[in-house]
Amino acid sequence: MTQSIVDVEIHPRLTERLSADLLHPERLLWTPRELAGLTRRVTAELSAPLGELLHFDADQRWWARLALTDGVELWLLSWLPGQHTAPHDHGGAAGSFTVLQGELNEEYRYPGGPIRRRTHLAGEGIGFGAGRAHQVTGAGFTPAASVHAYSPPLVATREYATLDDVPGEIPPLPVILDR
């Protein structure tokens, strides 16, 4: 008889709240739709404990990994107005984010396509495929927070000077195997 052992890491302050039915540790690859469902559910069901974890730093964006399985990683990020990421892709990983509080602006581009802009308000989110590059910025006048998920996990991001520099094809980057 064989036994499968699946590694699951959960933030120490969420071990009682993030359960296997949310994280599906047996699932090795998540679709953008599944990732979007995960971030929506986590923001809806865990808003109070996530609010207790949040930290805002005027000097840099803040983040904390909430969970990691063999198939997905889940993060909480905070944004003061004007704080932003560099333009980047997710190295071939699919992703999702849902806004927990506040408002985020996103500029995004698929290889060869136009640069588009979208504002995401609290409760709103999006799942996206592996070929998407974007830049996210804290918007509005109040601090924002968001929950992000990526699959496969532990794939490095690739930064660009601008979204105009996104190549016609985004090749996958290797998964980082060291936890």
Give pLDDT, residue 116.
97
- Say what the pTM is: 0.91
Whole-angstrom distance, CA of residue 74 vs CA of residue 41: 12
Task: Indicate the domain borders of the chain.
Answer: 27-165
pLDDT in tens, 49-101: 999 999 999 999 999 999 999 999 999 999 999 999 999 999 889 999 999 99
141: exposed, middle or buried (C-beta count within 10 Å: 0-12, 13-18, 19+)?
A: exposed
Dihedral over alpha carbons 164, 74, 137, 90 (to 10 degrees):
-10
Q: Is the dihedral of CA 147, 90, 92, 73 positive or negative?
A: negative
CATH 2.60.40.790 correct for 27-165: no
Q: Which residue has the higher pLDDT, 17 or 142?
A: 142
